[in-house]
Structure 1
């Protein structure tokens, strides 16, 4: 079986590389020639631990190639994976289906034999039925072209493991043949005992957005408790630990702090709420609006803590911002809380110096008004306040004595509850964190 992967962004490139390493012949297809040229030369155009080494291995094996030709893809592939992005529309909370529709309408006219097209992109429920109609209308093979849905569950920073040994697979299909093709396309994965849920197209479309909505709810729940703790003098960190002992609740995603960002959770919960309203069941997920609101408020409250440590005025003060990516082990700055806080402080007149181990180039491109350092100590030099915004291990492990020797004032806001307050206070730091006394 030969596979094509349409779209070579974060999802598509990871999927293509990993499937080739697992033994399949794979053709990655994209309309972006620069991206294709980079991948073909062995360069991964984004930060993801372990993936560059696998790209080298896949290219050397001869099983992975890249192209901009949809005709070549149609002739080559037995199963075609649609892995393009579905960003939020500029003038709406709805998902932008431009790239998904373009992928299908570009591929379909070249499909002349029985084949399976598999959607992996996160889309509004009902999209698969519409795309199946497009395929049958535009493909010379007509109804011999079938559509299935196989949502992705990648975590940035762990995408290789999540591709090669996921915690589950979901196959949304309409025929036994489509299920057989998917099982053949993922044979090395399924051989490891990975559980499979076979369902209809609509349920498969809903799984990803439902999962992300649940995770966003859990994150925002503990951050709502942080707001209560700030009003009462309680400690949200201790509260979260106490809740985590309840096995019905668990500790995962129950970490208070600056909140979530990135290219998935924020836009997915907004698109989900928007789609529910279109279907006339908006009240069922109306709570997602408040989840989004709680998440946004954490950013504003982090700015407030910095202002408080500056004596009420940040204008003219130097702030060291440790972190720019939305999470560690990633260079993704989409809807990044860290950069949102840094940019807000800059607009208030602070001199903000940013350092991130992986996201510096992306941050500079989007926020050229900020100043950028070469390392954490460089960022903290002569700082009036240090604010930890992305919980990279190198920030967790930094010595309060060492950074205190270069800062102008030993004041820190721990936006991620990543530090041990007692250690920093013992070293003479004034320590503040969301939801902590």
Structure 2
């Protein structure tokens, strides 16, 4: 038998491939969406364990576990189910409210909390796609809040002029602070992580100084580091009325999500962004100015982060703002972008999920006495498992991606005779 015949015989003797349906199922189970959902499920289970361990009723029942084990399991169920029901009531719909209008306040609170997270996540995700790590969200938000707030309380204009002007001022402030990073990286080669960290401190102390200086951002006659109240003509109007905190900033982030999707998938600039993110050397050989892409990417990323600052300072808050207006959103946006895998609509969904955790976490703490820190642990564990897909596959016994799915039937050796 010749060598070629032996090779053909060995190939024919191999295990046949699985049916097309099995291959399709394997692809679905290894998709990023399924991995994300499974990561969320694992995180909720871990959160349930933490809730059970920290609940006083469970601790009391476990002290006589061997005498009456049923009491312990009942206490665990009551603690976990009560916490997650409170989470649902606070984030999606509150069935304890007598009216539908009162019940849907929970989902509006979720969307309210999600608004700056989505904008910040879009900013971080866009930078990721270009190969940049923008962790300067805090500084960009503070500069944007300072610019939008100053316009918001300094000018008496009609709302159709005042509000757009304040929004544009905030976007310009964030774009300027992000553009500085892009320019320095393109011009000097400095690393954007170091630049953004340092500019976070510069922005914080600059805004803090301006809030303590009369004539700049400090309210007249006040000794506290706080700005004057934003004029009503510059406040983002509520979408469903004054009883709800959800304002028109959520509409702006929907528009921003559509814009980022179009930019990255339908525009020539987005093609250049993706090319630079995949391989800057190859993009340079193809004639793309990598330095210019870095600058433009950080300008747009800063403007999107500025939108998060605008939604904070021009939202339903009319009593002025302080240097803590960023509320840690600049760093939370990194986890939102990671969970959304840096895609516009994935980031949008991740922002709503984290907004639900934030709104529901307060309800858990108020209604069940569950520490809100447990919600933060759940969020962190989600990101941990998102960053480690092999760990999720091993827990749920999923097939490896790219691996050839084979039938478990025994192979049949085919005899081939040489001609």
Shared fold, TM over 0.5 = no
| TM-score bucket of the superposed structures, by smaller chain | under 0.3
Higher strand proportion (structure 1 or 2): 1
Question: Normalised by the size of structure 1, how large is the TM-score?
Answer: 0.26
Higher helix proportion (structure 1 or 2): 2
Higher relative contact order (CA 8 A, sep 6+): 2
